[in-house]
Amino acid sequence: MDGNGRWAEQRQLQRTEGHLRGEEALFECIEGAIEIGIPWLTVYGFSTENWNRPKKEVQFLINFNRETIRKRRDELHERNVKIQFIGRENWRVPKGLLNDMDKARDLTKENTGLTFTIAFNYGGRAELVDAVKAIIRSGIEETKVTENRISKYLYDNEMPEPDLILRTSGEKRLSNFLLWQSAYSELLFLEDLWPDFTRKTFHQAVKEYQNRSRRFGEL
């Protein structure tokens, strides 16, 4: 979900206005996923690197995410969406936000429709570091450390590896997102800024993915 700030700056608006418009784009994406039966959608809500932004913007993003979760959880629950979070929840995240995250999880945990995962205070490298630490604490022998074993120690070991990773705003990099899980993911980079993203954009991206041939390293 990249390009909120640039979208606002291009229109001579406050960067915060871009994030507000980005919320609408997010729910366009969610509705688009529901419409065509996508079972799992993961978005990058706040990275571990985002703490390095100006303090005022960081505080806005924290409050914005909290208000969005509060405002939208009932709506998502009615749509049979299961809400989940991945990231370092025990590092720097305010207690109030953690409480709202827990409420959203508890409210929707029995839902059977789209699983909507928000990567919050998340970094792909941090996830791998935390997985390695957990493996060491568990006392697993070196010979038993395999790719499958590492996967079981990620933040959510039930989350499937993504088929498609979609990034907006013309940036062509993963920016520390799902580094382990994305080994064989298809990548699609769009010039659109996130606030301009629509469910039509989403459907077009899925269609392009369906036209690709995934080889997983084979011929």
Q: Where are the beta strands (DSSP E) in 3-74?
A: 40-47
111 among known catalytic residues: no
192 is catalytic: no
Residue 125, phi-psi category: left (phi > 0), alpha (psi -120 to 50), beta (remainder)? alpha
> Residue 115 pairs with which residues in a beta bridge?
40, 82
Longest dimension (CA), the chain: 57
Catalytic residue of the set 2, 65, 121, 130:
2
DSSP 36-75: TT--EEEEEEEEGGGGGS-HHHHHHHHHHHHHHHHHHHHH
Which of 50, 111, 156, 192 is the catalytic position? 50
Mind telling me the catalytic residues?
A: 2, 50
